[in-house]
Every structure is written in C-alpha cells, then in structure tokens.
Amino acid sequence: MKYSPKQYAQALFESLKEEKDVDSIFKNFCSILLRNNDLKLLSKIIEKIEEIDKEERGVVEVKLASTKKLEQEIIEKLRKLIKNAEIKEEIDPSLIGGLKIQIGDLLIDGSIRAKLNKLRQSLI
C-alpha cells in the first residue's frame, strides 16, 4: 500500500507527541520510508509536518504581497488583528500597486492589477 506525504507526516507527528525517544522514532521512520521506497517524499513529508504543527498550535499563515516592502507598523497592526499570525511578505511588482492578503484559504486582492482586470471584464 502506498502512503501519501500527509499520512506519513501525521503518523510521525503523532509518534513524536507520544514518545520521548526521538532518535529511535526517526530511525524507525527512515527505515519505513526506505523499505517502502518513499525516501523521495521526505521534503513533502516535512512540509506536511510543519502544516500539522501550525494547525495544532493554532497558527494562522498570512501572506502579504505588495510592490514594495511594507512598513513594520502595518505588519504589527496585522499581528494585533490576527492572533497567532505567521506573516510572510512577498514583493510582487506585477501587482502594480495595492496589497494582496491571503489568510488561509481566504484571498483579499486589493491590488491595482486586480482592479484593472475587474474593470476590463466589466467593459467586455
């Protein structure tokens, strides 16, 4: 049976929560990956473990995209508004101006590019 990176990650995460002998858990986990010929999935498994850990701790991932680096004051205001926020900034010149905010699955696109696209669609 083939396991997905998420299934491996969930199993490892649960094992690490319950067991104190981390070395033996990792050795056993790596031997299982090797036996199942799934070592190539290791980077995806690590990504999934990070997602599971954030979810367990109630951390909300917030991605901010703008055409230039945002002032620290704006980021601090967002941190106060969104509890347990892990804010990641991205510079995206294609936005032309404005800001794009992604909070989990919610996307708020206040970029000039989005407004221009909306205007173009209404004119067509």
Domain that holds residue 17: 5-57
How far is Cα 67 from Cα 74, in angstroms, rounded to an integer?
15
- Count the domains in the chain: 2
Q: Please tell me what DSSP assigns to residue 104.
A: T
Reference 102, options 63, 74, 67; nearest CA is: 63
Together in a domain, 43 and 64: no
Q: What is the pLDDT of residues 54-101, one digit of tens each?
A: 999 999 899 999 999 999 998 999 889 888 999 999 999 999 999 999
Together in a domain, 74 and 116: yes
How far is Cα 80 from Cα 73, in angstroms, rounded to an integer?
11
Q: What is the pLDDT of residues 58-67, one digit of tens each?
A: 998 999 999 9
